[in-house]
Amino acid sequence: MSLSERIENLMMSVQKPVRYMGGEFNAVMKDPNGVDVRYAFLFPDTYEVGMSHLGMKILYHAINARDDAWCERVFSPWVDMADLMRRNSIPLFSLESRTPVKDFDLLGITLQYEMSFTNILEALDLAGIPLRSADRMEGPFIICGGPCAFNPEPLAPFVDLVAIGDGEEETQQTIDLYRQWKAAGLPRSEYLRMAARIPGIYVPSLYDVTYNDDGTVRSVTPKPGSGAPEVVRKALVKDLDGAAYPEKLIVPYGEIIHNRIMLEIFRGCTRGCRFCQAGMIYRPIRERSVEHLMRMADSLVSSTGYDEISLMSLSSGDYSCLPELAHRMVERFASKRVRISLPSQRIDNVLTDTLKETQKVKKTALTLAPEAGTQRLRDVINKGVTEADLVRSVTDAFEQGWSAVKLYFMLGLPTETDEDVLGIADLAEKVRRCYFSVPKERRAPGLRITVSASVFVPKNDTPFQWAPQLDYETVVHRQQLLRQALSKVKGVDFKYHAPDLSYIEAVFARGDRRLADAMERAWRMGCRFDGWSDQFRYDLWLKAFDEAGIDPDFYALRPRPTDEVFPWDHLDCGVTKAYLLREWEKAQRAECTQDCRKGCTGCGMKRYGACEGRQ
């Protein structure tokens, strides 16, 4: 029986068999004998999550635009399928051709979230690939990218290459290099040494890490004679109009999380929110032109048949030509019944009239993220929005016929006090009053306010990388404080979670290589899909840390001195450590930093020659 038939025999007994089916419209099929490089792209989560991800779509089509390479998709099989695959000795396979992953030349893995790390170990094991780079004598080279690649240290022993920054060009370079390496018939280690010279490529095995007596990192240096750079600068695509972007998108059969056209209107963000890693690592801001976006939208609408275009970015209201873009999009696509949506709505941007028009159809909840309950704390995190902004935004929305508002906050931000937490309940009460200030005949019935409070996770490459995460007991105390305060505000639904998942996330976000062993132990004990609360096993994680001799508090809860060497310091994310430190110090004085569109704030991106900011 062929592998394909054996896979299909399992599909009748698992949840959502379409996850493993392939054969979607616009999926790329090639003759395996007609290409030199077989590239497997793993998204280490379910099909529905991975297929909603824009970065994977971009790289999939960029690689497949080459005649010499074929990129196929791989997703983490859900636990039911993974267990059946093991029992039936079915290796991890690609969706397009159902080829075992271990038969590919390169295996790209995107790191979107620390809590998907164990899924990578699970995937390698299911594929029959040795977990550790040093144990691999054959099989695909493993290349990780994505936001967590800016601190890949906990994964260091498992991966071969790490692609830092924008993937469009560096991915192609790793493929070009693979062809050269294969043609030259060089040993495996030589590919790693050669790859270390590609801009943005970091090869963890070529670096030595030393530690101080207190357990902090003393130094990370290239191994003598390795030729690896002392500091790896992130790869940067300077002109997005010239960058690869798919003209076609795979259209899945089942429902996925974001089932629509995603149009990335710009990359980067100028706001400088101090908790936000994306706002730092994706700098500088690079906009696509309206003309280019219109052309992209045209080809995507006709090639997919989707009825919605989402204008994606970190802060879409900031797009400099938004009124023009929105107007032209609506004008162009209204007759085709294609909706235009703006997912990332900030409370300090006024909805343009055109977008109000497009959103008339579907009034889902208005989602706003004040992040903190008091002005003082919002200044600490440099959120740059005021209560007046919020009041104006929700009143406007209630007048337009919205009746549901979701408010997102974080608990445990640096300098937070009980008073800041109680401020969240005050804001909720004010939102309620805004609703009742709109005359009854003009507002939609049924006010619903959802307050959602996540636990803050300090991330590498942000001004809060020096901050401790708030301890478990205090988080629980403040959650209860807020719950009680909100119970007095009518019509509010409060959502919060146990802080244990965020704690493990905090450990890995600022972790070092010594965590790899604990991660492997946790996976061997059965940890996988940690980001899914029904799968997450806090008890096993604590046991794994204990057995590995790791104190997780050291990584999550320790205040870090400003002169500490961080495990990721040798990876240049674009903004400088000096800038982050200035921002950390300003945060403690609750001093704001302006949006850098209004004047350069000296983050360091000018070193890359890709930022027009004035000094």
Partner 1 sequence: MRALIRFGKQPRLRFISHLDLQRFFQRAVNRTGLPIAWSQGFNPHPVMSFGSALALGWTSEYEVIDIKLSAPMGRKRTEDAVRAALPEDLPVLEVRMVDDKHAAPMALVRMSDYVVRLEGENAPTVLEQIPAFLQREVVTAVKKTKSGEKEINARPLVIALEKLDEGAFKTRLMLTESQSIKPELLVGLLSDMAGVEAPQAHVHRLALLGLDAGGNPAPLMAL
Q: What residues numbered 283-302 form the site for partner 1, per CB under 8 A?
A: 301-302
**Span near partner 1 by CB under 8 A; candidates 9-17, 315-323, 341-349, 465-473:** 9-17
Position among 24, 125, 387, 429 found at the interface with partner 1 (CB under 8 A): 24
* Nearest CA among 38, 37, 43, 7 for reference residue 23: 7
Position among 216, 303, 344, 367 found at the interface with partner 1 (CB under 8 A): 303
In the complex, minimum distance from the CB of residue 362 to partner 1, in angstroms, rounded to a whole number = 9
In the complex, minimum distance from the CB of residue 336 to partner 1, in angstroms, rounded to a whole number = 8
- For position 97 contacting partner 1 by CB under 8 A, the verdict is no
Alpha helix (H) residue ranges in 162-313:
167-184, 188-195, 278-281, 290-304
- For position 21 contacting partner 1 by CB under 8 A, the verdict is yes
**Span near partner 1 by CB under 8 A; candidates 18-26, 180-188, 205-213, 414-422:** 18-26
Complete DSSP assignment for 338-396: -EEE-----TTSPPPHHHHHHTTS----EEEEEESSSHHHHHHTT----HHHHHHHHHH
Q: Which is nearer to partner 1, 22 or 204 (CB)?
A: 22
Rounded to 10 degrees, the C-alpha dihedral 338/343/344/350 comes to 60
Position among 3, 6, 27, 344 found at the interface with partner 1 (CB under 8 A): 27
In the complex, minimum distance from the CB of residue 594 to partner 1, in angstroms, rounded to a whole number = 44
Q: Which is nearer to partner 1, 27 or 548 (CB)?
A: 27
Say if residues 44 and 76 touch (Cβ distance below 8 Å): yes
- Between CA 601 and CA 596 the distance in angstroms is 6
Tokens 């007994």 — which residue? 13
Position among 91, 97, 103, 306 found at the interface with partner 1 (CB under 8 A): 306
Q: Which is nearer to partner 1, 306 or 408 (CB)?
A: 306
- For position 330 contacting partner 1 by CB under 8 A, the verdict is no
Q: What residues numbered 202-261 form the site for partner 1, per CB under 8 A?
A: 251, 253-255
In the complex, minimum distance from the CB of residue 303 to partner 1, in angstroms, rounded to a whole number = 7
Give me the sign of the Cα torsion angle 189, 191, 192, 196. Answer: positive
Position among 87, 337, 589, 614 found at the interface with partner 1 (CB under 8 A): 337
Q: How many helices (H) and strands (E) does the chain have?
A: 20, 19
The widest CA-to-CA distance across the chain, in whole angstroms, is 77
- Between CA 532 and CA 544 the distance in angstroms is 19
Q: Which is nearer to partner 1, 339 or 478 (CB)?
A: 339
Strands (E), 443-555: 448-455, 492-496
Q: H or E element: which one contains 143?
A: strand 141-145
Please report how many Cα atoms fall inside a 13 Å half-sphere around the Cα of residue 62, on the Cβ side: 20
Position among 6, 17, 54, 386 found at the interface with partner 1 (CB under 8 A): 17
Position among 67, 68, 208, 307 found at the interface with partner 1 (CB under 8 A): 307
- For position 458 contacting partner 1 by CB under 8 A, the verdict is no
In the complex, minimum distance from the CB of residue 533 to partner 1, in angstroms, rounded to a whole number = 26
Residues binding partner 1 (CB under 8 A) = 8, 11-12, 17-18, 21-25, 27, 251, 253-255, 301-307, 336-337
